[in-house]
Amino acid sequence: MSLVAILAVCGIAVSSVSLQHHFATSKTAYCDIGETFNCDIVNRSEYSSIFGIPVALIGMLGYAALAGLATVYRERRETPAMLFGAAAAGLVFALYLTYIEGRVLGVWCILCLSSLALIATTTILAAVIWWKRNSTQ
C-alpha cells in the first residue's frame, strides 16, 4: 500500500498545480504547446468546476482520501475494498474529464493526463491489493 500512498501524494501535487492554473488570472506558459495542449483552456473552461467546486480541488481531496486509506487505515480489513472502490470512482471521473477534453474542448491538459495515469495505476494496484487480501483469507 505504500506505493498507492506515493501515487496519491503525486496526485495531490498534480491537482494542486492544476488548481493554481484554475485560479490564475494571467496566461501561463506551463503547458501551452500549440493548439493541441493547453492547460489554461481546460482548467478555466466551464467544465473545470462542478457546482462551483473546482475539479482540481475534488482531485486533491480524492487523492488525500486514497493516501489516508493507504496509510492511516491500511490495517483495517475493509480497507482494500474501500481503496479499490474509491480509486475506481476516481478513474471513472478522470475518464469522463478526459472525454470532455478530447471531444468537447478539443484540447489536452498535460496535468489532467498525468492525473489520469496516476489514478489508473492506483486503481490497478488497489485491485491487486484487494485480490491478494481476498485470496489469502
Residue type, 136: T
pLDDT score recorded for residue 1: 66
- Sign for the CA dihedral angle at 37, 38, 43, 47 comes to negative
pLDDT score recorded for residue 113: 97
With a pLDDT cut of 70, the percent of the chain lying above it is: 97
Contact 4, 70 (CB under 8 A): yes
Identify which has the larger pLDDT, 67 or 73: 67
Q: What cell was used for 30?
A: 506551463
Give the list of residues 6+ apart from residue 41 with CB closer than 8 angstroms, or none.
105, 107, 109
For range 3-31, the mean pLDDT: 90
What distance in Å separates the CA atoms of residue 45 and residue 1, rounded to the nearest whole number? 35
DSSP character at residue 31: T
What is the distance in angstroms between the CA of the first residue and the CA of the last residue of the chain?
A: 18
Identify which has the larger pLDDT, 104 or 136: 104
Domains and CATH numbers, the chain: 2-135 (1.20.1440.130)
With cut-offs at 50, 70 and 90, classify the pLDDT of residue 137: low
Among the ranges given (30-34, 74-78, 128-132), the one the predictor scored with the smallest mean pLDDT: 30-34
DSSP character at residue 1: -
Cite the DSSP H helix spans in 54-109. Answer: 55-71, 79-99
Contact 14, 115 (CB under 8 A): yes
Identify which has the larger pLDDT, 44 or 123: 123
